[in-house]
Amino acid sequence: MNKPVHRIEKLIAELCPEGVGLKSIGEICQINRGRVMSKDYLRNNAGEYPVYSSQTADDGVFGRINTYDYDGEYLTWTTDGANAGSIFYRNGKFSITNVCGLLRIKVDGVDTKFLAYILATVSKKYVSAGMGNPKIMSNVMEKIKIPIPPLTIQQEIVKILDTFTTLEAELEAELEARKKQYEYYRDELLMFGEGVEWKTLGEVTHYPKNRISFDKVNNTSYVGVDNLLQNKQGKTESSYVPIAGNLIEYKINDVLIGNIRPYLKKIWLSTNNGGTNGDVVVIRINGENKKRLNPRYLYFLLSSDKFFDYDMQFAKGAKMPRGNKDVILKYKIPIPALVEQERIVAILDKFDALVNDISAGLPAELNARRKQYEYYQNRLLTFKPLESEYAKQ
């Protein structure tokens, strides 16, 4: 990858040795907003053409209709909400809702994909969080200034960054396929009939009541709902540690579950002792059941979608649903012979490491690719400004 980068550096030395000038988005782009489209409108006009909205999942697709408002190369950006400032490259027939903005290049010498890459590095800085709703509106977008090197340089940079995004997309697709395979095998392995003993969680586990002082935990041993990772990814170090009070004590092999918004599927089998708070459920195997219930087997049972669907079914609250601790203990689990539990664990451990372990397997490879992309993105999209630009600052 260094050879193409060196080629870019050589081109910069040849074509713009004095630096690169800045242009505002308003100077180089026509700016529009989308239109209001309700779910009823989407349903009544269903078709093949995508409608993009404020979400980032599924490439921002809100729905599909039988007509389109735009056809060609554009950029869209999210104007409102948690994803405000997100930039997307679009090419084809599509429409956008009123929480999307639209950019179309109106001058020569600017590559649309280059604009997408470089604008994505700065757009978030211009998001305003006023009134609790993050926004970046057209009057702000048009004033953003970005460096515009010669078109040849733009196109070479796009080639390099496209290679990274393609590799990342391939890894994401493979990871998603592996996750589906993992879910399938887990459901199959954990499917038991009447020939196996069934118990409620409350019969074989409990919520520990012991407390631990705040000064006994650190960034690694304190677990809050914020540092439990979504979609069964375990946990990361906490950026916050309590400075007063007592915490719920957890021990090695306890299962910790985020109790706020159970649909986020936050769960971790503890590998150390520590402390947590009331937003996290701690499940510990009863003493008399430790010889008949493998903790990793229990973890796999509780990390299934079946459990989280059950948890959400009885959750309390609309905007910020919270799991019902009493009902959780009524959840029924199969308890086969210990040797069978260990066999299941051995199989699922391999899949779990492949799709969920952020330090190994596909997640680690994907994370490494993203860091590599960020490195080259910063290197390729940082330019020496013209002396005249210094004078304007």
Determine the residue type at 71.
D
Which helix (H) or strand (E) segment holds residue 118: the answer is helix 112-120
Is residue 65 within 8 Å of residue 95, measured between CB atoms?
yes
Domain boundaries, the chain: 22-148, 193-335
Contact by Cβ (8 Å): 363, 357: yes
List all residues 6 or more positions away from 352 whose beta carbon is below 8 Å from its beta carbon: 182, 300
120 and 157 in contact (C-beta within 8 Å)? no
Of 217, 226, 207, nearest to 279 by C-alpha is: 226
- C-alpha to C-alpha distance for 75 and 246, rounded to whole angstroms: 51
What residues does 24 pair with on adjacent strands? 145
Q: Coil, helix or strand for 239? A: coil
Extended strands (E) in 243-335 = 246-250, 255-258, 267-269, 274-276, 280-285, 332-335
Neighbours of 234 (CB within 10 A): 18
Question: Helix (H, G, I), strand (E, B), or coil: what is residue 171?
Answer: helix
Task: Give the span between the Cα atoms of 94 and 171, in whole angstroms.
Answer: 27
The predicted structure's pLDDT at residue 390: 46
Instruction: Compute the C-alpha angle 243/249/250, nearest 5°.
Output: 125
Give the helix/strand (H/E) hosting 363.
helix 361-380
- CATH code given to domain 193-335: 3.90.220.20
193-335: same fold as 22-148? yes
Nearest to 251 by CA among 274, 223, 219, 267: 274
> Cα(243)–Cα(227) distance, rounded to whole angstroms?
17
The ranges of the chain with pLDDT < 50 are 390-391, 393
What distance in Å separates the CA atoms of residue 294 and residue 107, rounded to the nearest whole number? 66
Taking alpha carbons only, the member of 229, 239, 218 closest to residue 367 is: 229
**Structure confidence at residue 380 (pLDDT):** 85
Give the pairing type, strands 222-223 and 274-276: parallel
Joined together, the tokens standing for residue 147 give 């460096």
Tokens 């979400």, residue located: 55
* 3-class secondary structure, 96: strand
pLDDT of residue 275: 96
Taking the alpha carbons at both ends of the chain, their separation in whole angstroms is 34
Distance CA 195, CA 11 (A): 72
Rounded to whole angstroms, the Cα distance separating 283 from 206 reads 6
Which uninterrupted H or E stretch holds 180?
helix 151-189
- Looking at residue 50, what is its pLDDT? 95
At 187 the pLDDT is: 81
Give the 3-state secondary structure of residue 31.
Answer: strand
Q: Supply the pLDDT for residue 228.
A: 94
DSSP SS3 for 375: helix
Q: How far apart are CA 88 and CA 112, in angstroms?
A: 11
What element of type H or E holds 11?
helix 2-15
Fold (topology level) of 22-148: Adenine-n6-DNA-methyltransferase TaqI; Chain A, domain 2 (3.90.220)
Asked whether the beta carbons of 78 and 84 are under 8 A apart, the reply is: yes
